[in-house]
Amino acid sequence: MASPFLIFLAGTVAYALFRLSRVGRRPKGCPPGPPTLPILGNLHQIPKKNAHVQFKKWADEYGPIYSLILGTIVTIRSGIYSSRPEAYISSRASDGCRMVLMEYGNQWRRIRKFFHAFLQLKAIKAYVPCLELESTSVMADLLDKPQLIFHHIRRYTNSVSTQLVYEFRTPRIDDPKLLLMYDTMEKFGDVTGAGAAALLDVFPVLRYLPPGIRPLYNHALSIRKASLDLAGDLWFEAKRKVREGTAKPCFCVGLADAQAKEDVDDMGLAMTASTGLEAASDTTACILSGFIQAMVIYRDAQKKAQKAVDRVCGDRFPTMADMDNPEAQYIRACVKEILRWMPTATLGVPHAVIRADEYMGYRIPKGASVVLSIWGIHKDEKRYKNPRAFDPSRYMDDTTTSSESALGPDPTKRDHFGFGAGHRICEGMHVVDRTLFLFISRPVWAFDLSPAKDADGNDIIPNQDDLIGNFLRQPRPFPLGVKPRSESRAAAVRQAWKDAQELLDQDQQWKETPEGMPFTL
Asked if 81 and 364 count as a contact pair (C-beta separation under 8 A), the reply is no
Q: How far is CA 177 from the centre of its chain?
A: 20
User: In 270-395, which ranges are E strands?
Assistant: 351-352, 357-359, 362-364, 369-371
Q: Count Cβ atoms below 10 Å from residue 392 Cβ, excluding itself.
A: 25
Asked if 277 and 181 count as a contact pair (C-beta separation under 8 A), the reply is yes
Non-local (6+) Cβ contacts of 173 within 8 A are: 141, 148, 151, 152, 154, 155
Asked if 375 and 56 count as a contact pair (C-beta separation under 8 A), the reply is yes
Angle at 508 between CA 505 and CA 509, to 5 degrees: 75
Asked if 398 and 333 count as a contact pair (C-beta separation under 8 A), the reply is yes
Alpha carbon distance 395, 392 (integer Å): 6
User: Is 131 strand, coil or helix?
Assistant: helix
Q: Which residues face 452 on adjacent strands?
A: 460
Burial group, residue 498, by CB count within 10 angstroms (0-12, 13-18, 19+): exposed
Q: Torsion-angle region of residue 173: left (phi > 0), alpha (psi -120 to 50) or beta?
A: alpha
Q: How far is CA 191 from the centre of its chain?
A: 17
DSSP 362: E
Alpha carbon distance 192, 282 (integer Å): 16
The H or E element spanning position 297 is helix 284-297
DSSP 66: E
Asked if 173 and 155 count as a contact pair (C-beta separation under 8 A), the reply is yes
Among 187, 158, 163, residue whose Cα is nearest residue 174: 158
Ligand-binding annotation for 426, yes or no, is yes
Among 102, 109, 158, residue whose Cα is nearest residue 271: 102
Burial group, residue 283, by CB count within 10 angstroms (0-12, 13-18, 19+): buried
User: Is 40 strand, coil or helix?
Assistant: coil
Among 338, 25, 22, residue whose Cα is nearest residue 153: 338
Which residues are known binding-site members?
426
Going by the annotation, the residues of the binding site for heme are 426
